[in-house]
Amino acid sequence: MKEQVFVSTVLYAHNNEQEIAQALTELDRTMMTYFQHYEIILVNDFSQDKTLENAHSAIENIYGDTTIINLSRKHGVEHAMMAGLNKSMGDFVFEIESLFIDFNLDMLYNMFKTATGKGFDIVAATSGQAGWKSRIFYRILNKVSYLNLSLSTETARLVTRRALNAMLNLREKVRYRKALYELTGYSKTLINYKPVNRLTGRKVNRENISLAVDALVSFSHFGLRAAHLLTGVFFLFSLFMGGYALYNYFFNQSVVQGWTTLMILISLGFAGLFFIGGIIGEYTSRILIEIQNRPFYSTKSVEMYKEKKPRLELIKEKESASGQ
């Protein structure tokens, strides 16, 4: 018997012309197997290949409600997913950030059963095969964050409507959903699965680096503590150099004035000032973002495709028509 709740699935796509058709059709088949009412929301993040055309072709074979949100420019995963989540209407919402899917889609139903059976508002899935760069980033963020985070690489996530609304109602402009969900305080669990195929790790690009910096600045005191630590180091260094100068003045007057020492002091001092200035600049830019109150995303168009009758009902109608 199918579940009677309404579920939404938000998919992110950017230049996925090879994967989009298979992902949509298999996801539709999975949702139709387990749920009576569902919708699929595809967020097309300004793809420049045939992702949109292939999605249109695939939708002809999809039976559930489908919506395609075409963004007007490249926004990145976090802001693009916000467009889909704001549009979703389900009591439970699945989030899939990559079409390079390395798990059996039936796992989504297991996540749903975990949420409803054990009372979790957030259920995340991971293969535990994150790259070393991701592991280092999460270890640092979990260590320095004041939120007592326990984040890791996640490939799919299920959230209840109340947890999603709580996250959407947060007024922060710097969006990092993993941390924001934990900020809401709703219960979360992580399930592990064995990947059905091995995927290559994500390449480090400007978007990833920017997101990592945003997360560190927004959800930890990493920058301020580093600035304080550096300030202390330079203060001790200055004391040491002052003592060294006094020692030479009183006991080693034959030494030629320490041009090298002076240059080292000046160089390190300016380096520290520039570093502190950079950290202050990061915080200033975050304040500017909050003040500007710009929308998270801009939409070029929204395409909506209503639910088709399930294949079985169509067959029955044809049989009854031929019988007449």
pLDDT at position 286 is 72
Q: Where are the domains of the chain?
A: 3-219, 221-291
Element housing 44 (H / E): strand 35-44
Is the pLDDT assigned to residue 129 strictly greater than 60?
A: yes
Question: Which residues are paired to 140 by β-bridges?
Answer: none
Q: Position 300: which residue type?
A: K
Cβ atoms 166, 184 nearer than 8 A: yes
Cβ atoms 176, 137 nearer than 8 A: no
What is d(CA 200, CA 24) in angstroms, rounded to the nearest whole number?
A: 21
pLDDT at position 118 is 92
More confident residue, 216 or 45: 45
Confidence tier at 51 by pLDDT (50, 70, 90): very high
3-219 CATH fold: Spore Coat Polysaccharide Biosynthesis Protein SpsA; Chain A (3.90.550)
Q: At what angle are helices 77-87 and 206-218 packed, to 10 degrees? A: 70
Is the pLDDT assigned to residue 8 strictly greater than 90?
A: yes
**Measuring CA to CA, which residue among 65, 62, 19 is closest to residue 44?**
19
- pLDDT one-digit tens code per residue, 256-300: 666 667 766 776 777 677 777 777 777 776 776 677 565 666 676
Cβ atoms 194, 102 nearer than 8 A: no
Cβ atoms 94, 13 nearer than 8 A: no
- pLDDT one-digit tens code per residue, 164-190: 999 998 877 777 888 888 888 888 999
Block residue for tokens 């490249």: 74
